[in-house]
Structure 1
Amino acid sequence: MELIATNSQVIPTEQVITQISTGNFIEANTEQVTLNHLQKECIIPVFSKDNESTISHFQFIEKAFEVVQDLFPGEEIYKPNIRVSHIVKGRIPSAIGKPAKELLEHEKTIYYERCAFMIEVPSLKQNVNGNELSLSIGGVRSLNEQNLYSKKALEKFKIFIGFQNMVCTNLCISTDGFSNDIRIGSITELALQMEQLFANYNQVKHLGMMERMSRFELTERQFAHLIGKLRMYQYLDKTAQKTVFPLTLNDSQINTVIKEYYTCPNFGRNTDGSINLWNLYNLCTEANKSSYIDSNFERNVNAYELINNLVNSTQNKVPNWLLSN
């Protein structure tokens, strides 16, 4: 795999917005960087067989920012909040053989294997169950899912539109607001895919489904039973797993849910040990912040589907493996 330097167009000054949304929408093994850093200080991987460039993280985020501005004219839009992980280090040819500790800054090269970003539209707020939610758009690029040792092929991206809970900065992503397998050959095609997803997203339905969660609750006994079933799921054989609701939270994240059930001041249990499903949903999305970039959004959507599965079975009195004895 070879690398080439980035040479992307600078965002016009009049389009630059100084404010970046506060708080981490993801935490695991990531660091925050700026769009300028990705553009000017990072190199871009290429497909090694034909030396064709990949679409850079900078291009992806820049195009998403443009699409958001076009779709929401006149709205306040924050600069992208960008998180990266799995740094890949290199050096320029003239530094070959030089000890690493003696490398000068201009002799070092870097790029990031994984990148996630979130763009907040703070002027489009909704109140759900007493929590202020802000419309948010974002995406993920994981180069580990791309075969860079071949000729240029369609490249994979993930995008979402949903809300960020401003109480805890948790993302709230619905099924129809997320696409985890966009494969495109150009940045123009990527823009079209983003526009299509954003246009088809049913914001009213998403808000209504989240509001509905607060109408149902689990007793302390039911919560304990649910936690036990969550732990049991990963040990079911493959045939049995296919008969129940699929789960993606790992043991460590389930532990976080249990801890926050007792200690979280915003979404923890009631004095009698009960917890409504909106609060449980937020405990799950908080725990999900420890997921790596390449699985974070999928697990976020799975948490949304999980809670709605519990709501539906409770509302319609339908037996549910997660709640039944």
Structure 2
Amino acid sequence: MELVRMNNNAKDQGRGEDIITSLPSSGTHKTEVKLLENNQFIKANSTAVSLSHLREDCIIPVFANDNEQTISHSEFIEQTRSAVEDIFQGEEISEPAIRASHMIKGRTPDAIGVAVKDLREEQKTIYYERMAFLFSLPGITQTIDGNQLTLSVGGVRAYNHENLYSKKSAEKFKFFIGFENMVCCNMCIGTDGYKKDYRTTSLTDLNEAIVNLISSYEMKKHYQSMRRLVEQSLSEKQFAQLIGKARLYQYLPKKEKEQLPELLYGESHFSSIAKDYYSDKSFCKEQSGDINLWKVYNLITGANKSSYIDTFLERGVNAFEFTQGLSKAISGDSDYRWFLS
């Protein structure tokens, strides 16, 4: 197993060293990583925005009953950066890749009655209901089946999950640490690297929670789980069975569905997966029709990029759990057998 560190001059300090050295290394060498400038780790109905835009051009939503402000998108991103810098001292940290969606438009009081075409820029207000971001650590990489993976930390905020019509209450945040597949920008997120719906009213508390998640993340275990996927394959018949059963899953009677593992992907996702089985340049089938589970996993995470921001992380984790379940099902020891039988 190979751990590639980009910054050989970096001082190894802080708790990040425990995460890094948990991986056995066959050698350390310098290599060049070119981060994609247009980092579309999620695509559906989202736009790339900058941190300065969120900080300087967007208003901060408040709780209507008491006019208390929410924690802004930019504050969430900055607290995450602070946590990453605290743990991975000396490591290079990229600028955040940020995607936002569901723009909420408004206008200042002096613009009441002004025609839209006559509005001045300073009379317009905006904020984004949903936002996702990630920081990459280009000095910490792994390789699976020729795909370079870069350690990444990020989060999701969705104001549509808050009751902004009430008094100020604990707000929900989602954050993660995992790998980004640099071949395709697919996110690889495991269960121990994800915090769902963390609630807080404090920036200090939020920072501490992110630090705790990063510190407890078992990078070696996550990496090895994904790496083993290369060793198992589905035949063309099994893959076709999987696609068919996944589509049937959505329409199962409630009682039958409750007996099966959760699958958070729908018809459109599996149509994309079926198409990419033949056409994806990096993860399509072999000439024989076989496809290894690492490629299946990436077909699923690739389809996940069409999910809305507020469901993106849950489906990312579900892709990992689902593919791990298929791995066990191949040996006949899993509730996931239904999807292949």
One-letter code aligned to 1:98: V
One-letter code aligned to 2:95: K
- Pairing 1:70-109 to 2, within 5 Å after superposition: 70-109=86-125
What is the distance in 1 between the residues matched to 2:221 and 2:101? 34
Corresponding position of 2:168: 152
Corresponding position of 2:340: 323
What is the distance in 2 between the residues matched to 1:318 and 1:310? 8
What is the distance in 2 between the residues matched to 1:264 and 1:314? 24
One-letter code aligned to 1:192: E
Helix, strand or coil: the match of 2:85? Answer: helix
- Pairing 1:91-130 to 2, within 5 Å after superposition: 91-130=107-146
Corresponding position of 1:9: none
Does the aligned pair in 2 maintain the 1:20–1:80 contact within 8 Å? no
Quote how far apart the aligned CAs of 1:23 are. 2.4
Render the CA deviation track for 1:101-144: whole Å, top value 9, x for unaligned. 11010110000000100110011011122211000001000000
Quote how far apart the aligned CAs of 1:318 are. 4.8
Render the CA deviation track for 1:47-71: whole Å, top value 9, x for unaligned. 1111111000010001101111111
What is the distance in 1 between the residues matched to 2:285 and 2:45? 29
Once the two structures are aligned, what percentage of the paired residues are identical?
49
RMSD: 1.2
Tell me, yes or no, if structure 1 residue 299 matches structure 2 residue 315. Answer: yes
Match of residue 191, structure 2, among 149, 159, 175: 175
Does the aligned pair in 2 maintain the 1:230–1:322 contact within 8 Å? yes
Does the aligned pair in 2 maintain the 1:163–1:173 contact within 8 Å? yes
What is the distance in 1 between the residues matched to 2:283 and 2:91? 30
TM-score with structure 2 length normalisation? 0.88
Helix, strand or coil: the match of 2:60? Answer: strand
Match of residue 265, structure 1, among 265, 273, 281: 281
| Structure 2: stretches of 5+ with no match in the other structure | 1-34
Render the CA deviation track for 1:201-228: whole Å, top value 9, x for unaligned. 1100000000011111010000000101
Tell me, yes or no, if structure 1 residue 34 matches structure 2 residue 68. Answer: no
Match of residue 195, structure 1, among 211, 218, 225: 211
Corresponding position of 1:205: 221
Corresponding position of 1:226: 242
4+ runs deviating over 3 angstroms: 19-22, 315-319
Quote how far apart the aligned CAs of 1:240 are. 0.7
Helix, strand or coil: the match of 1:44? Answer: coil
Quote how far apart the aligned CAs of 1:230 are. 0.2
What is the distance in 2 between the residues matched to 1:90 and 1:233? 42
Does the aligned pair in 2 maintain the 1:20–1:79 contact within 8 Å? no
Helix, strand or coil: the match of 1:98? Answer: coil
Corresponding position of 2:258: 242
Quote how far apart the aligned CAs of 1:20 are. 7.8
